Amino acid sequence: MTIALDRPQKTRSAQIREKLGYPIIDTDVHTQEFEPAVLDYLEQVGGTALVERFKENLPGSSRFKWYKQSWEERFAYRTNRPNWWGRPTKNTLNLATISLPKLLHERLQEAGTDFAVVYPNLATMAPNIGNEEMRRAVCRAVNTYHADIFRPYSDRLTPIAAIPLHTPEEGIEELEYAVNVLGLKAIQIPGYVRRPIPAFEKYGKEVANEVVWIDNFGLDSEYDYDPFWAKCVELKVVPTTHASSQGWTTQRSVTNAQYNHINHFAFAAEALCKSLFFGGVTRRFPQLKFAFLEGGSAWGASLYADIIWHWETRNKQHLLSNNNPAIIDKEALVELYTRYGGELVDGRLDQIGDGLGFHHQLLAPENPGELDEFELAGIEKPEDVRDRFLNHFYFGTESDDTRVSQAFNRAANPFGDRVKAFLGSDSGHWDVPDITAVTANAYSMAEREIITEEDLRYFLSIHPLELYTSLNQDFFKGTGVEKAANEYLAAKK
C-alpha cells in the first residue's frame, strides 16, 4: 500500500493525455496469470490428471528445450535459442501490475491510457498446444479465469478470449462459449497451425514433427474456415492474432536469440495476412476486419505496396501480353542472334529455340486459364487491392516504434492512404520497462515530427475505435471510452 502512496499523482503520460483531449486505446497490454488460480480453473474443466499433465508440459516449453540441451544437442537439432527472462523485474510495482487486474486498472491512467485490450501470456500460447484435449481444456480454463478476474474492471480493461483453430469446428465451439456464456468481446486466434506433411510421416514422429507446413486458414488451407469467419461476423467479434515465427527456418539460430526474435512477429503476421488476402477471405467477408499485434506496421505498409506492384506486373492480362512464350517473334530473334551473336552462336543458330534459356525447357506448358492468382481475392484493378487489404487489416505497433512513419507516409503509400497502424504497447514485457511511459513515447514521435499530430490521433484513438466498433457498435458501451465511441460513430453516419 505504501508503494501506491509513493507513486506520482500525474505522470508525463497522464499530462499529455489531458492535453490531447481524446481517448487513448491500447490494444495490446500483456498480463501474467496467477498460476495456482489458473490450475484451479483447469481442474474444474479437465480434472486432476489433466492438470498434472499440463504442469509437466507447459505451453511454450518446447521453445525452451534449448536450456536443457548440451551444445552438441543444440547444434544437432538446430534448436533455436529463445530469449532470456521476458518480464520487467527491476521495478517490482510494474511486475505486480501485470498480474493483478485491480492494480492494473488503478495504474492504467498513469500510462495515459483510457482503455486497454489485455493479452494474457498463457492465453496467447494456449491455442498452439498440439494435443487436442489439452488445447481445448486450457483455452476454456484461461478464458473463464480471465473473464472472471477482469469482469469488475470492464470499464477500462477487456481480456481476449483464446480461440483454438486446428479445425473450424473447435474454433466455433470455443468462440460461442467465450462470447455467449462468458461475455467476452475480444478474441485472439493463432496465426497458423503447424501440420505434418503426409509424405514424411513414414519416417517416424521425430521427423514428422519437424517436416511441417504452415496452415494460415486461408490460401491452400486443409479446411474451409469460412464457417468460422461467418461465426465471427455473427457474434460481432474481430479476429486478432499475436503469432510467433520463432523456430521457422529464418528464426532458428542456435546461438543468438536476438537473431531469432527480430521481426518474428512480423513474419508470422505477414504469412497470415497474405493467406487471408489471396485466399479471398476479405472478399467473401467484406464486414470482417483483422488485427495483427506486436509486429509493427512497417511490414504492413510494405506488403500493401508490394501486392499492388505484383498485381500491376503479374496479373493475368499482363502476363499473357508481356511474358507469354507464344508471342515471341522467332524470326526476329534469329536475326538478332545472327547480327550480334558472333562466335558465340556461329554454326548453332538452329539451336536457339525460344531464347528463354535452359530452365524454360523444364517447365511444363501452363494453362493460361490458371494464371490468375488474384482471382480468389477478387482483384481486377489496383483499387480492389486497397478495398480488400487496406480496409480490412490493422497493425498493432509499440509506442516507441518510429517505423510507424511508413504506415503514415501518405506520399509513398498507394492512393495516398494511411495504413491502419494503431497503438499496441506490449506493456508487461521486457521492452516496456516503464509502463507509465506509453503515451509519452508515442507523443514524442509527433514532437520529433516523425508523424503528424493528426496521424497521432489516428494511431492512438481513431484506428482502434474504427476496428472494434466495425462489427460491434456497443463494444465500448459502459467503458470510459463510450462517449468518444458514440461521437465517432455519429460522425461516420
Residue 464 is given by DSSP the state H
CATH of range 23-313+393-491; options 3.20.20.70, 3.20.20.140, 3.30.70.260, 3.40.50.1100? 3.20.20.140
Q: What is the pLDDT of residue 83?
A: 87
Mean pLDDT score across all residues of the chain: 92
d(CA 367, CA 359): 18
Query: What H or E segment, with its residue span, contains residue 334?
Result: helix 330-340
Q: Which stretches of 367-476 are DSSP H helices?
A: 382-385, 438-447, 453-457, 463-468
Q: What is the pLDDT of residue 5?
A: 44
Q: How many residues does the chain have?
A: 493
Share of the chain above pLDDT 70, in %: 95
d(CA 108, CA 155): 11
Torsion of CA 247, 274, 315, 281, to 10 degrees: 150
Q: What is the pLDDT of residue 358?
A: 56
Burial of 370 (0-12, 13-18, 19+ CB in 10 A): exposed
Q: What is the pLDDT of residue 1?
A: 40
Q: What is the pLDDT of residue 303?
A: 98
Q: What is the pLDDT of residue 353?
A: 74
| Confidence band, pLDDT 50/70/90 cuts, at residue 223 | very high
Say how far residue 490 (Cα) sits from the centre of its chain. 30
**Higher pLDDT, residue 354 or 431:** 431
Q: What is the pLDDT of residue 61?
A: 65
DSSP one-letter string for 243-303: ---TTSGGG--SS-HHHHHTTHHHHHHHHHHHHHHHTTHHHH-TT--EEE-SS-SHHHHHH
- Spatial contact of 450 and 121, defined as CB atoms under 8 Å apart: no
User: Cell for 442?
Assistant: 508515442
Q: Flag whether pLDDT at 486 surpasses 90.
A: yes
d(CA 207, CA 173): 32
Q: What is the pLDDT of residue 57?
A: 82
Residue type, 287: Q
Q: Flag whether pLDDT at 405 surpasses 60.
A: yes
pTM comes to 0.93
| Confidence band, pLDDT 50/70/90 cuts, at residue 7 | low
User: Cell for 301?
Assistant: 505498409
Q: Where are the chain's structural domains?
A: 23-313+393-491, 318-350
List, as own/partner pairs, every contact residues 429-434 make where C-beta atoms lie below 8 angstroms and the sequence separation is at least 24, other chains included.
Answer: 429/30, 429/86, 429/87, 429/88, 430/83, 430/85, 430/86, 430/87, 430/88, 431/398, 432/88, 432/398, 432/399, 433/88, 433/90, 433/91, 433/94, 434/91, 434/94
Q: Flag whether pLDDT at 213 surpasses 90.
A: yes
Instruction: Work out the average pLDDT over 388-405.
Output: 96
Instruction: Work out the average pLDDT over 411-435.
Output: 91
- Spatial contact of 396 and 292, defined as CB atoms under 8 Å apart: yes
Burial 340-362 (b: 16+ CB within 10 A, else e): eeeeeeeeeeeeeeeeeeeeeee
DSSP one-letter string for 149-195: HHGGGTTTEEEEEE---SSHHHHHHHHHIIIIIS---EEEE-S-EEE
Q: What is the pLDDT of residue 178?
A: 98
Instruction: Work out the average pLDDT over 237-259.
Output: 91
Query: What H or E segment, with its residue span, contains residue 421?
Result: strand 421-423
Say how far residue 96 (Cα) sits from the centre of its chain. 27
Q: What is the pLDDT of residue 430?
A: 79
Burial of 333 (0-12, 13-18, 19+ CB in 10 A): middle
| Confidence band, pLDDT 50/70/90 cuts, at residue 471 | very high
First to last CA, the chain: 47
